[in-house]
Amino acid sequence: MKQLKNLMEDRDIALFIGRFLRVGVLTASAIALLGGFWYLVQSGAADMPDYSRFAGEGPGYTTFRGIFKGVAEGNATEIIQLGVLVLLATPIFRVFFSLLAFALEKDWLYVVITTIVLGIILFSMFGGLKI
Amino acid sequence: MSILIFSLILLVGAYAAGLLGSLTGLGGGVVVIPLLTLVFHVDIRYAIGAALLASIANSSGAATAYIKEGITNVRLGMFLEIATTAGAVGGALIAVFTPVNTIAILFGLVLIFSALMTIRKKNEHAEQTGSKWSYVLKLNSTYPTANGEVAYKLKNIGGGFSIMLLAGVLSGLLGIGSGALKVLAMDGAMRIPFKVSTTTSNFMIGVTAAASAVVYLQRGYIDPGIAFPVVLGVLGGAFTGARLLTIMNPRTLRIIFCIAISFVALEMIYNGFNHQF
């Protein structure tokens, strides 16, 4: 009976995570759509940038500060990048929720495993990998 | 070409890529890279950034359906994500030191391999004896079939884990989900029924791609003007594809697409050798 109960909870958590993923993707798409629409209204008539030569994006598109500053000013391209951030955050939050779920189940082995995964992702975010 | 025209054509192209990726089982991200580089002559680095985003959107958007059916093995996915995320971060790091033409050639080879994998004979057999580690790590599970729940056990965890590490590196280096390699690790090495391996692989792709995408974002590979048509288009195409798959069995279509995509892959390799990127 206890095992059955555990199984049910397991399933509830899995369903919650699945729903969360979908909401995350839809939110990210909605933000990107809004930003994209605004971008086309503002600069749709302009010539397209030369994408055949890689220049790399400036801090306005690549840092939290730059993106949020642009969003506050209502810049279309930074709104798109905000959508990108939400999209990137979605699976990372998924790992975090799994960590909570395993902790609730007192499955310490998987708490450790999930912490390692989260650690690797956070390392790549903040580990100064900007070579 | 004006930005408006470019965005609209790219949106339609990304929609087709998402549809194709979903019907073949290759994933939209993989089809977007040749579309951007060969058709639109976009630098492959921008293409990789956009393709990673498409992979994340695809994987996360489809996860709900699979979890609901209880097929995904969440513990297995999480355990193997240690290998794929570590590999992905490593791959994203060595990407800076890898010439773009080498990346294009590697991409072509992986694309051909992926196409072959989707038309291979699939493992439907559920193993009944697991290895020692499958018990220690609690990886053995059940999945629903037409005849009720079927229990399966895992073999060769170490071998599967190693292939996952390679899948992670390729994913980080090339900006793709490398679902085919993930399925190879699970079907081939660990002997998991393909329904479980396909869904678990899809479940893992989002996390793997996010691990390398944060590196690429900070390096300036993700351009908003390319990102928004690609993400919206691929997601829409994948959604249509998932709908179509429930009403038809695209066996023949899949083979035709896989042959077509192999020619595209050959062109990537050819251009790579001729330093066209």
Looking up tokens 């580690």 gives B133
Ranges of each domain in chain A? 2-41+61-126
pLDDT score recorded for residue A131: 42
For residue A104 the two structure tokens come to 């609730």
What is d(CA B272, CA A83) in angstroms, rounded to the nearest whole number? 33
pLDDT score recorded for residue A34: 96
pLDDT score recorded for residue A7: 54
Would residue A47 be called left, alpha or beta, if left means φ above 0 and alpha means ψ between -120 and 50 degrees? beta
Spell out the SS3 assignment of B41-89: CCCHHHHHHHHHHHHHHHHHHHHHHHHHCCCCCHHHHHHHHHHHHHHHH
Residues with Cβ within 8 Å of B252's Cβ and at least 6 positions away in sequence, in order, are: none
Question: Taking the CA atoms of chain A, what radius of gyration do you get in angstroms?
Answer: 20
Ranges of each domain in chain B? 3-273
Task: Tell me if A38 sits within 8 A of B30, measured CB to CB.
Answer: no
Give 10-residue mean pLDDT values along chain B (277 residues).
Answer: 92 90 77 90 92 86 64 88 94 89 93 85 79 86 82 89 94 85 85 84 87 90 93 88 76 82 91 84
What is d(CA B104, CA B110) in angstroms, rounded to the nearest whole number? 10
Q: Which of residues 141-200 of B touch A (CB under 8 A)?
A: none
Half-sphere exposure of B123 (CA within 13 A, CB side): 20
Helix axes B224-247, A76-104, angle to 10 degrees: 50
Taking residue B166's Cβ as centre, other Cβ atoms within 10 Å add up to 17
pLDDT score recorded for residue A92: 92
* B218: contact with A, CB 8 A cutoff: yes
Q: Report CA dihedral (B178, B73, B258, B176) to the nearest 10 degrees.
A: -20
Facing B86 at nearest CB: one of A45, A56, A120: A120
Pairwise CB contact (< 8 Å): B228 & A35: yes
Facing B41 at nearest CB: one of A52, A81, A83: A52
* B242: contact with A, CB 8 A cutoff: no
What value of ipTM does the predicted structure carry?
0.87
- Tell me the pLDDT tens digit for each residue of A40-83: 999 888 888 888 888 888 777 888 888 888 888 889 999 999 99
For residue B100 the two structure tokens come to 């773009």
Residues of chain B positioned with their CB less than 8 A from the CB of A49: 225
pLDDT score recorded for residue B233: 93
- Tell me the pLDDT tens digit for each residue of A84-129: 999 999 999 989 988 998 898 889 999 999 999 999 999 888 875 4
Residue of A nearest to B213 (CA): A88
